[in-house]
Amino acid sequence: MNKKKYIILIIFLIASHGMLVANQDSVKSRIPISIKAGYKAPSEGNYHSTNSGFGLSLSARFLFSNKFSFHPSFFLWTSKYKFINPYHENITLKSISALIGYQFDIREFTIEPKLGLGLSKASDTSKQLFTSFLGVGLNYNYDADIRIQLDILQQNASVFDVGGSGPLFDNILLLFGFEFTL
């Protein structure tokens, strides 16, 4: 994907945070940055996971009360797959998605159901893939600005065309990482 898109998205997130900080009487906001690495369970189709992947998440957190917050985030996931054919081609899948989650606080832990939609690009084709994520995150609040995160996400990616002639990815992602708040 184009690096300009990433830069524009980061600038948009920072600008939206600035607008929210100006209105802190009704909503508190923070910009958490998460860095995650994870394991992918292999799919049952023609593509199988060959190694772990890397994720980066930029998000804003809107606190509506002490126990409830809304957490939209931008999520980048990159990983490698092996296509099951005589040549065993290696394919890299890069996904960029927007995740929305609701955070429920339980003492020093938080539970966050997540839903996300986005686009992916496979290295072997020029087609854009539609990607969806569904899962849950469990966070341990180590400090006011540091959180230890464990996410379990179901990733589905397929091409837009009706015939279904392109690749289909269906994986379980187990992500572990840290979140730092700016």
Reported as a single tens digit per residue, the pLDDT across 27-85 is 455 667 777 777 766 555 555 555 566 777 777 667 666 656 666 777 777 776 665 55
Of 42 and 135, the one with more pLDDT: 135
pLDDT at 176: 84
Distant-in-sequence, close-in-space partners of 100: CB < 8 Å, separation ≥ 6: 70, 71, 72, 73, 114, 115, 116
Q: What is the pTM of this model?
A: 0.66
pLDDT of amino acid 1: 52
Q: Residue 75: name the closest of 173, 166, 167 by CA.
A: 173
Cα 79–Cα 134–Cα 54 angle in degrees, nearest 5: 20
CA distances to 19, 20, 21, 22 from 25, in Å: 12, 10, 9, 9
Q: What is the CATH number of the domain that holds 116?
A: 2.40.160.20
Q: Which residue has the higher pLDDT, 81 or 148?
A: 148
pLDDT, greater one: 131 or 49: 131
- Among candidate residues 41, 72, 83, the one with its CA nearest the CA of residue 175: 41
Q: Which residue has the tokens 């931008």?
A: 74
Q: Coil, strand or helix: which one is 88?
A: coil
Distance in angstroms (rounded) separating the CA atoms of residues 108 and 151: 17
More confident residue, 140 or 52: 140
Number of domains in the chain: 1
What tokens appear for 87 in the block? 């040549």
Range of the domain at 41: 3-181
As a whole number, the mean pLDDT across the chain is 71
